[in-house]
Amino acid sequence: MDMTIDEAKRAARVLRDQLPGTGLTHSRALEIVAQQAGYQDWNTASAKLLTRAGMDAPIPVLRSLDEARAREFYIDYLHFSIEWEHRFKGELPLYMRLRRGRFVLDLSEHHGDGTPGSMIWVPVDDVEALQRELVATGYPRMSPGIEADSPGGPTMEVIDPFSNTIRFCQTPAH
């Protein structure tokens, strides 16, 4: 459940207001909302919930050098969806935003946007399930394995056609 700490506090107030006469304290309502969001308790939730400080999560920009190969890799193989695409006109370089769940990524053909050979680290819930999904696509240029003893947890690396590496890591928190 994606929510900010302010939204969680608001949900607790609404819960308390909707149950008048039950003696539900604001503290207990916070605990209930935290558990509904998948956290053990309010202290854990408040440490991990998103905050609003005028910024959202950063969106990495990777350099792309060939539109067809980028689409084959990111859309056909990794199953991203296209949120939007932009060209200033005609055959000028493509800039596009991709999404797969909460993972948002920009690909750019513009010189100076991103550097081929960059690396992104992405936490995942189940790296083995992701590996099975990718193998099932039949993509001929990649057969990623899982490094079980990686420092952050079991990790699978894929390298795009432009030498950018994406490390999918199943961390203990996932």
Contact criterion met (CB below 8 Å) for 159 and 142: yes
What is the structure's pLDDT at 24? 87
pLDDT score, position 109: 95
Question: Domain map of the chain by residue range?
Answer: 5-48, 61-169
Mean pLDDT of 49-74: 85
Q: Are 109 and 96 in contact (CB under 8 A)?
A: no
* pLDDT of res. 52: 58
Q: State the CATH class of domain 61-169.
A: alpha beta
Give the residue-averaged pLDDT of 20-39. Answer: 88
Q: Are 101 and 78 in contact (CB under 8 A)?
A: no
* Encoded tokens for 124: 């995942």
